[in-house]
Chains A and B, each alone.
Chain A
């Protein structure tokens, strides 16, 4: 065994840890670089706002963008209120019994279920059993079920970060529990809940498996008219043009990936900025 002197081994350790960090981010940087390099030539206003033409080999990806946005926003509209209510119940009301502990444990572990399982569940329940067909609403419900544990967990974190002293002060004034939640806890937890919701939107925008059987259409060059319409969706569209269409121009594939990437990244960026903003304004 070689004994290095402590100073030197400290230097080696730091260098090694730094290398590990670099290795972790290099692939991301390379991926973003390749996508931008190959895709930017096809990006134009027309690409973003036109229907695909010529068997998707030219034209735009407008219906896929609209489709993804409508599925994702329906999903968040469903999952956010339910998730916040469940988080309030678990944090503020539920007694610490075996049952609540099991529920909390289940919620944490539900996040680890592969998304394709949710896709199959959505196909069975929403598309077939409830008869919604392959549609925005079926896809949104599937995504919201998948995202519910995440929303509940982030909302519980936001509720927990409200200082107990505020609750105590309110209750000691003879304000009921529910009014305390409504007037003190929720307003102070809202920034955390909202940033969590934006991150959830970013996360589910890129999901393919849950909408594969429940919402996504292969080729549908018009925008949806009702929640029961089938739609194109960016992640699925990307999969199709990358694997199913012969003679597909490379730059359109990469441009589509770039749009999806930008959607997700800009959402995360908004969440980060919002978090910084709220943290600065918060005085406790």
Chain B
């Protein structure tokens, strides 16, 4: 069970309220997209799910986010364990400036999740296979990850997340620095991955949300305006503001 249940969630950057009483339940093994105009709090909400906002000084939260029934804002939650379970892929591909192999094995080795070399080798191969990168780069495992193309780098970043065996993968505009062709292939990859993972994607691109996701959340000024089946959001939204946004009347 890896559904994400967000309950009465508020987030403040100092005195500025970034999220206002968000309530939603993200179902497992589906792709949920978050759309909305720039600055509406999509990234903020996404980063609340793996507590990456904790790093920002002056951030305060209220309410709950439950993953598999446990409130991740509980006192006794181990944040490192949480983040292994809830992986994150960023807007700009950010592989470490080390070899391809070490990028994928990094989480395993540094966290001492796995020590046996042959097991690590196997996980590295499986992770690269599941992002369809293995065949292209199996001879370049020792090469610096920064020599790969941007698309390959983004795939590598996904593989790096998969290697620590998460249940949930959060992606924050993962295609915004890629060309249309690479974007399409990453989208295909996401659709494959939803068989095994719960995926939440933030995107600026409404066509992308319509293409890849089963559910869509529309946000505005820190509020969740509407959350429903993607088909409903794009064809017959329940809220006037959603309608205006998806039909391109503002935003």
Partner of A183, one of B85, B92, B106: B106
Which chain A residues border B146 with CB–CB below 8 Å? 283-284
The reply to whether the CB of B157 lies closer than 8 angstroms to some CB of chain A is: yes
Which residues of chain B come closer than 8 Å to A46, judged between CB atoms?
none
Q: Are A173 and B161 in contact (CB under 8 A)?
A: yes
Interface residues of A in 84-136 (CB under 8 A from B): 95-96
Inter-chain contact B52/A173, CB cutoff 8 Å: no
Given contacts A165-B92, A168-B52, A188-B97, contact A173 B57 (CB under 8 A): no
Given A283-B97, A284-B97, A172:B83 Cβ within 8 A:
yes
**Other-chain residue from A165, A183, A188 in contact with B110 (beta carbon distance below 8 A):** A183
Which chain B residue shows the least CB distance to A166?
B96
Q: Are B83's CB and A174's CB within 8 A?
A: yes
A172 touches B88 (CB 8 A): yes
Instruction: Name the residue of chain A whose CB is nearest to the CB of B145.
Output: A283
Contact of B106 among A96, A165, A170, A284 (CB under 8 A): A170
Contact with A along B147-186 (1 / 0, CB 8 A): 1000000000100110010000000000000000000000
In the complex, what's the smallest C-beta–C-beta distance from B159 to chain A, in angstroms?
A: 12
Q: Is B80 touching A172 in the complex (CB atoms < 8 A)?
A: no
Interface check A176, CB cutoff 8 A: yes
- With A96-B57, A179-B110 as contacts: A169 and B83 at CB distance below 8 Å: no
Residue among A166, A171, A174 making CB contact with B81, cutoff 8 Å:
A174
Query: Which residues of A in the span 195-223 have a Cβ within 8 Å of any Cβ on B?
Result: none
**How big is the A interface, by class?**
20 to 34
Does B96 contact A172, Cβ atoms closer than 8 Å?
A: no
Size range of the chain B interface in the assembly: 20 to 34
A-B contact count (CB 8 A): 69
User: Which residue in A95, A165, A188, A282 is a CB contact (below 8 Å) of B90?
Assistant: A165
Contact residue among B55, B97, B107, B147 (Cβ-Cβ distance under 8 Å from A173): B107
Interface presence of A276 (CB below 8 A): no
Residues of A contacting B83 in the complex (Cβ-Cβ under 8 angstroms): 171-174
* A283 to B161 CA separation, bound complex (whole angstroms): 22
Asked if A77 lies at the interface with its beta carbon under 8 angstroms from chain B, I say no
Contacts of A284 in B (CB 8 A): 97, 146
Q: Check: B222 CB closer than 8 A to any chain A CB.
A: no
CB-defined contacts of A183 to chain B, threshold 8 Å = 106, 110
Q: Could you list some 13 contacts between A and B, CB below 8 A?
A: A95-B57, A166-B97, A168-B52, A168-B90, A171-B55, A172-B87, A173-B106, A173-B164, A175-B80, A175-B110, A183-B106, A188-B97, A283-B147
15 extra interface residue pairs, beta carbon distance < 8 Å, beyond A169-B95, A173-B160: A95-B57, A96-B57, A165-B94, A166-B96, A166-B97, A168-B55, A168-B90, A168-B94, A170-B96, A170-B106, A172-B50, A172-B83, A174-B85, A175-B107, A283-B144
